[in-house]
Amino acid sequence: MGDFKDHASALVADVDCTAEGKPLCDGNGVQGFPTIKWGPYSAMEDYKGGRTYDDLKKFADENLKPACGPSNLDLCDDEKKAEIEKIMALSDDDIATQIEEGEKKIKDADTTFEESVKKLQAKYESLQKEKDATVAEVKSSGLGLMKSVKAAKASAAKEEL
């Protein structure tokens, strides 16, 4: 944190998500610890890189700088400027509605995913039980003995040659 103490466009901070920082963590989707987030406060992203000091320093040097956005239109290309201006022309209520709709789609996608994973897990467990039962049944029906007889016959045939 000391390396970025006076950085113009980066804040490196430590948040205790079990105490006063809980609302901040909840609002940014922090579910496990440690979690590293980066980006503008209003649109933080999960950091997926390495966790060594050198990895983090390299990422920060390459990514933590002023970026295209409503506060830095001069850093945007024409397409992004037009997109920002279109959104800025909307009423606060319209923006809030679109944000809510987007967040609902994400939540719905998460719910669908989690429900599907539960179904897959149940199917996996069912198939595992079926497989284990079949293997046990085949083995108990004399498979091992048949393999022994086959090996003994093959060995006897070699001895005859």
**CA distances to 88, 94, 95, 98, 142 from 91, in Å:** 8, 5, 6, 11, 77
Of 10, 71, 70, 7, the residue nearest 39 (C-alpha): 10
- The yes-or-no verdict on residue 4 having pLDDT over 80 is no
Contact 73, 81 (CB under 8 A): yes
- The pLDDT value given to residue 118: 96
Contacts of 7 (CB under 8 A, 6+ apart): 64
Identify the residue with better confidence: 23 or 98. 98
Element (H, E) at 158: helix 144-160
Read off the pTM.
0.54
